[in-house]
């Protein structure tokens, strides 16, 4: 049975900036954008529910934009110049403000390499509990959770387990109702890199003090940035090669 819950995916792309912070990436950014975009399309194609993909792009090359255009609806590519990290976040959240109140929103950055069943596994939980679900999902098992003991609870998903976490990047899935409730935290996140002292911990991570956030065991993808951000127990090279 096809779910009546609408999934709205807002992808944020920029192939000109190698990294917002940190060392040089494992692969050229344009190659990362295209390969991760392919993985997102594949994961969306497997999920049989209602869905729509929108792209907010900041200053990518025409080659990258022409790669993206054929795979999305006319009018769903929002192309800007020189927005900056903050500016592109603002545009993503402006789009989210227009989404139906009963939708699920997936904010995803352009360097997330997804397992084919990532979105199907994530939406299984929301389809089971409805758009008023009181939790947020992060699609990867982030490796820094294993540096020290990390208290968590574990729940059962469709074919994997999920654990509670307290931190995410800007990639996460949530009901529109939670987004509206904590809009002030997401607004504060747009100041990251502009206002000194603003980061995930004092913006979006504040939401997780009230709303459980879950990440998958094993991972449903990789933050394909550095070796240190790759998730355990999911073959990154194999997943990369399957989506090139």
Nearest residue to 37 (alpha-carbon basis) of 62, 64, 61, 17: 64
d(Cα 183, Cα 177) in Å, to the nearest integer?
Answer: 10
Q: Mean pLDDT for the chain? A: 94
Q: What is the pLDDT of residues 196-232, one digit of tens each?
A: 999 999 999 999 999 999 999 999 999 999 999 999 9
Cis ω for the linkage preceding 103 (within 30 of 0): no
Q: Token pair for residue 38?
A: 């392919």
* Strand order across the 77-80 sheet: 77-80, 51-58, 7-13, 104-109, 172-175, 136-137, 213-217, 161-165, 154-156
Nearest residue to 221 (alpha-carbon basis) of 193, 192, 204, 243: 243
Q: Token pair for residue 149?
A: 């003991």
Task: Identify whether the C-beta of residue 76 lies closer than 8 Å to the C-beta of residue 53.
Answer: yes
Query: Which pTM value belongs to this model?
Result: 0.95
Above pLDDT 90, what percent of the chain? Answer: 88
């Amino acid at each position: 049975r096809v779910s009546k819950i609408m999934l709205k995916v807002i992808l944020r792309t920029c192939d000109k900036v190698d990294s917002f912070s940190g060392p040089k990436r494992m692969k050229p950014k344009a190659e990362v954008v295209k390969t991760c975009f392919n993985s997102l399309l594949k994961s969306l194609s497997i999920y049989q529910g209602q869905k729509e993909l929108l792209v907010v792009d900041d200053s990518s090359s025409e080659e990258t934009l022409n790669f993206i255009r054929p795979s999305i609806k006319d009018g769903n590519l929002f192309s800007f110049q020189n927005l900056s990290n903050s500016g592109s976040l603002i545009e993503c959240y402006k789009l989210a403000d227009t989404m139906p109140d009963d939708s699920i929103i997936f904010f995803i950055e352009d360097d997330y390499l997804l397992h084919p069943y990532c979105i199907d596994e994530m939406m299984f939980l929301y389809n089971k509990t409805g758009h008023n679900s009181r939790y947020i999902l992060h699609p990867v098992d982030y490796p820094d959770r294993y540096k020290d003991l990390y208290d968590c609870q574990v729940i059962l998903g469709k074919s994997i387990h999920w654990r509670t976490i307290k931190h995410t990047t800007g990639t996460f899935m949530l009901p529109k109702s939670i987004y509206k409730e904590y809009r002030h935290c997401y607004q504060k996140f747009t100041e990251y890199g502009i206002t000194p002292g603003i980061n995930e911990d004092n913006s979006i991570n504040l939401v997780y003090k009230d709303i459980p956030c879950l990440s998958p065991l094993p991972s449903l993808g990789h933050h394909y940035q550095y070796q240190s951000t790759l998730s355990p127990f999911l073959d990154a090279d194999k997943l990369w090669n399957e989506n090139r």
